[in-house]
Amino acid sequence: MNAIAVLLLAYLLGSVPFGLVLTRLTGAGDLRAIGSGNIGATNVLRTGRKGIAAATLLLDMGKGLVAVLLARHYWPGLEALAAGAAIIGHCFPVWLRFKGGKGVATLMGVSLGLAWPIGLAYAVTWLGMLAVTRISSLAGMTAAVVAPLAALASGNAAYAPVLGLLAALVLWLHRANIARLRVGSEPRVGSGGSKG
């Protein structure tokens, strides 16, 4: 019963589409009809509203963090389950016919919730790659791959399997981005590209 409670709570938290809600509330329209149609912060940025994009990023991170922390407080030992459910909720929200985001920001939140060294490694990798390449998808995918490695390196090996599975999910959701990276057509942040 505890596992079911964690799965439902974390999934519901993860499934809140903050990007879609914020853009509608601020009059930016339906985010799914803008740019790539993705509900994440990168696509929100294409509306030209940097503040809303930043808020989306923080809220998407926050829901993953909260899901893990709630599990740790009420159901110790089920944090990894909460992490996975929160990411699944973000990527496949029932409210949006299971068409959600790609999980990068929410994975940052759950990584931080699982263990701060993992979250720190994720953040440094993400921000560092973004600063160097200005390619949002590449930065996010690299950070996702680093997370399970950071779990192993920081003495949190118990979290490495779920983080490895979540990294694989993030890569799969970015398969179109990977194809564009291979041919050199993936847009950079600020370039006005339409894919996310």
Digit-coded pLDDT (tens) for 152-168: 999 999 999 999 999 99
Residue the block writes with tokens 């509306």: 47
Indicate whether 20 pLDDT > 90.
no
Q: Give the pLDDT confidence score for residue 192 in this predicted structure.
A: 52
Distances (CA, A) of 123 to 126, 130, 146, 147, 190: 5, 10, 10, 10, 20
Which of these, 178, 124, 129, lies nearest to 150 by C-alpha position? 124
Residues 6 or more apart whose CB falls under 8 angstroms from that of 26 comprise 49, 52
Q: In this structure, which amino acid lies at residue 119?
A: G
Which band of pLDDT confidence, cut at 50, 70 and 90, is reported for residue 73? very high
The pTM assigned to this predicted structure is: 0.90
Q: Give the pLDDT confidence score for residue 137 in this predicted structure.
A: 92
Indicate whether 193 pLDDT > 70.
no
Q: Give the pLDDT confidence score for residue 194 in this predicted structure.
A: 43
Mean local confidence (pLDDT), 183-194: 73
Which band of pLDDT confidence, cut at 50, 70 and 90, is reported for residue 24? confident
- 172: tokens are 């799969």
Which band of pLDDT confidence, cut at 50, 70 and 90, is reported for residue 25? confident
pLDDT tens digits, one per residue of 36-68: 767 778 778 777 778 888 998 999 999 999 999
User: CA 34, CA 100: separation in Å to the nearest integer?
Assistant: 14
Structural domain spans, the chain: 2-183
pLDDT tens digits, one per residue of 98-144: 988 999 999 999 999 999 999 999 999 999 999 999 999 999 999 99
